[in-house]
Amino acid sequence: MIRALTVTLALIAATPAAAEVEIQELTTPGGIDLWLVEDHSLPFVALEIRAQGGAALDPEGKRGAANLMTGLLEEGSGDMDAGEFQEAREALAATFEFGVYDDTLSISARMLTENRDEAVALLHQALTEPRFDEDAVERVRAQVLAGLDAAQRRPGTLASRRFFANAFPDAPYGSDSDGTVESVSGLTRDDLMQSFQDLLVTDRAYVGAVGDITPEEAEALIDELLEGVPESGPELGGHVDFAAPGGVDLVDFETPQSIAIFGHQGIGWDDPDYFAAIVLNQILGGDGFDTRLMQELREERGLTYGVGTSLYVFDNAEAIVGSFASANATMGEAVGVVKDVWADLAENGVTEAELEAAKTYMTGEYPLRFTGNDEIARIMVGMQMLDLPPDYVIERNSYIEAVTLEDVNRVAARLLQPEDLYFVVAGQPEGLEDNVVGPAEAEEDAAEEGDETAPAE
């Protein structure tokens, strides 16, 4: 039995909070790496399994295969049809969630201790013997097609599709992982089976378990759950750069309030300046009301309800992306303010006070994330996917602390390029002209939904 047991007593961030999350790094007899946090205070366990690959593995012309396939994992397996499978799950009061994202397939489960063996057997059945029954395929396909149709009438979706289509025209990130009407209509049962075999594989799967379970039980559980799952899948894609040119790209849409999505090339998590960049992003447009963009657009001018920016780090691409909505009459002014903020930060950098405030916020907020079994399981799997060690939960705040004013201002000058800012505005904004050269991609070929910011209700 190969069982490497490393116990890391992670004292998360001495200031201001200190949490004890004891991560046990295990390898099952079947050879699967597993991180476990034992906590017997509530009689259930939360599991998180993610396999790298995700919707990016959709074959040419079969966009949407991963999405439709994932939607069908809860629609019947083994000798159970969809209804029978769900009845069995409900009788156990277990919860199973299957999700597919740009670069990952995820399985999240909660199982009560009292019937855990039965819940594991049921989930194993879903992960190894999906049926893809014709009636289920057609029912879920109709739901996906209806969603694609509805998306045509949402300005936020239209803007984000245009944005990502032009940002990453030659990568999966440039198109909607739900697929197009044409591609989804053409998917066959064989396509779904192929997608299932390609995406759920053990050699790029990462596993976290938190809750009422011992290391021995957790190892046995994972081996049983993943028994029969193929070991490897197709090769993953290569890196792409952000391709959209700077400027404003308009999507005409009749609505009282325009929506803007903007951004340009970002920075990867393995870049030496990554931590400086996330601190910079916090100051520019991260959480809360104190960011430069929130101050300038909302607090000073009342131009928007909320504005935020994020560093998007895909497996094979990076971007810094922001969004906000503003009345048609004020969108032109708001776009100008965003550009000014961008230029000011690039040229003059941030202040020492802003840096300190951002660092205190970020180091203080981090340990507060470790609440709830499923939350901790998700964090652990996220760390494994970035190849971070268990003690990252201790070290992470010291990386933030180590960021200096010089670091942030260097990365601001390097990262923030006002002339490269690509804006897509959906609506009928006043005072803005479409000045992006070159045809935008056909609408069907476009990308994922942007994050919605929703601060105070």
Partner 1 sequence: MRQLALSLVAALALPAAAAQAQTDDVTTYTLDNGMDVVVIEDHRAPAVVHMVWYRAGSADEPPGLSGVAHFLEHLMFKATDSMEAGEFSTVVAANGGTDNAFTSYDYTAYFQRVAADRLELMMEMESDRMNNLRLTEEDIATERSVILEERNQRVDSNAGALAREQIMASQYLNHRYGQPVIGWRHEMEALTQEDALAWYDLYYSPNNAILVVAGDVEPEAVLALAEEHYGPIPAEPQLPERFRTEEPPQRAARRIIYADPRVGQDYLLRSYLAQERDSGAQEEAAALVYLEQILGGSSFTSLMARELSFDENIALFSGAGYGAMSLDDNTFSLTVAPAEGVTLSEAEAAMDGVITQFLEEGVDEEQFERIKTQLGAAEIYARDDVEGLARRYGAGLTQGLTIEDIEAWPDILQAVTPEDVMAAAEALFDIDSSVTAYVVADRQEALQ
Name which of residues 12 to 31 contact partner 1 (CB under 8 A).
16-19
**Nearest to partner 1 of 135, 340 (CB atom):** 135
**Rounded CA separation 407/315 (Å):** 24
User: Which parts of 135-154 interact with partner 1 (CB under 8 A)?
Assistant: 135, 139, 142-143, 146-147, 149-154
Going by C-alpha positions, the residue among 132, 146, 165, 163 that lies closest to residue 65 is 132
Asked whether position 290 contacts partner 1 by CB under 8 A, the answer is: yes
Q: How far is the CB of 80 from partner 1 (least distance, A)?
A: 11
Asked whether position 90 contacts partner 1 by CB under 8 A, the answer is: yes
Among 187, 293, 303, 415, binds partner 1 (CB under 8 A): 303
**Are residues 192 and 65 in contact, defined by beta-carbon separation less than 8 angstroms?**
yes
**Rounded CA separation 439/126 (Å):** 44
Query: Look-up: residue for tokens 């197009």?
Result: 180
Asked whether position 304 contacts partner 1 by CB under 8 A, the answer is: yes
E-state strands within 314-418: 318-327
Binding mask 45-84 for partner 1 (x = CB under 8 A): -x---------------------------xx------xx-
Q: Residue 58's CB: how many other CB atoms inside 10 A? A: 26
In terms of DSSP bridges, do strands 33-38 and 44-52 run parallel, antiparallel, or are they unpaired? unpaired
Residue range at the interface with partner 1 (CB under 8 A); choices 123-131, 134-142, 263-271, 408-416: 134-142
Among 298, 315, 355, 381, binds partner 1 (CB under 8 A): 298
Q: How far is the CB of 322 from partner 1 (least distance, A)?
A: 15
Q: Which H/E stretch holds residue 8?
A: strand 6-12
Going by C-alpha positions, the residue among 291, 312, 213, 267 that lies closest to residue 417 is 267
Q: How far is the CB of 411 from partner 1 (least distance, A)?
A: 21
**Nearest to partner 1 of 217, 287 (CB atom):** 287
User: Which parts of 210-269 interact with partner 1 (CB under 8 A)?
Assistant: 254-257, 259
**Nearest to partner 1 of 77, 326 (CB atom):** 326
Going by C-alpha positions, the residue among 173, 167, 192 that lies closest to residue 71 is 192
Q: What is the largest CA-CA distance in the chain?
A: 69
Secondary structure (DSSP) of 341-361: HHHHHHHH---HHHHHHHHHH
Residue range at the interface with partner 1 (CB under 8 A); choices 27-35, 36-44, 122-130, 226-234: 36-44
Q: How far is the CB of 15 from partner 1 (least distance, A)?
A: 8
**Nearest to partner 1 of 27, 115 (CB atom):** 115
Take residue 4 and report the two structure tokens written for it: 């490497």
Among 33, 38, 39, 344, binds partner 1 (CB under 8 A): 39
**Nearest to partner 1 of 29, 372 (CB atom):** 372
Among 67, 316, 363, 409, binds partner 1 (CB under 8 A): 363
Q: How far is the CB of 113 from partner 1 (least distance, A)?
A: 9
- Number of H helices and number of E strands within the chain? 15, 14
E-state strands within 295-389: 307-313, 318-327
Q: How far is the CB of 212 from partner 1 (least distance, A)?
A: 10
Q: Compute CA distances 448 → 34, 156, 192, whole Å.
A: 31, 10, 21
Take residue 250 and report the two structure tokens written for it: 């308009």
Q: Could you tell me how far CA 218 lies from the centroid of its own chain?
A: 26
Asked whether position 323 contacts partner 1 by CB under 8 A, the answer is: no
User: Which parts of 369-398 interact with partner 1 (CB under 8 A)?
Assistant: 370-374
**Rounded CA separation 54/212 (Å):** 30
Q: Is 271 helix (H, G, I), strand (E, B) or coil?
A: coil
Going by C-alpha positions, the residue among 3, 4, 20, 38 that lies closest to residue 391 is 20
Q: Is 56 helix (H, G, I), strand (E, B) or coil?
A: helix
Phi then psi for residue 114, to 5 deg, are -65, -25
Take residue 255 and report the two structure tokens written for it: 């609505």
Asked whether position 171 contacts partner 1 by CB under 8 A, the answer is: no
Could you tell me how many residues of this chain bind partner 1 (CB under 8 A)?
A: 76
Asked whether position 3 contacts partner 1 by CB under 8 A, the answer is: no
**Nearest to partner 1 of 216, 299 (CB atom):** 299
Residue range at the interface with partner 1 (CB under 8 A); choices 28-36, 98-106, 358-366, 429-437: 358-366
Asked whether position 364 contacts partner 1 by CB under 8 A, the answer is: yes
Among 29, 61, 288, 336, binds partner 1 (CB under 8 A): 288
Among 9, 368, 386, 402, binds partner 1 (CB under 8 A): 368
Asked whether position 455 contacts partner 1 by CB under 8 A, the answer is: yes
Binding mask 97-116 for partner 1 (x = CB under 8 A): -------------x-x----
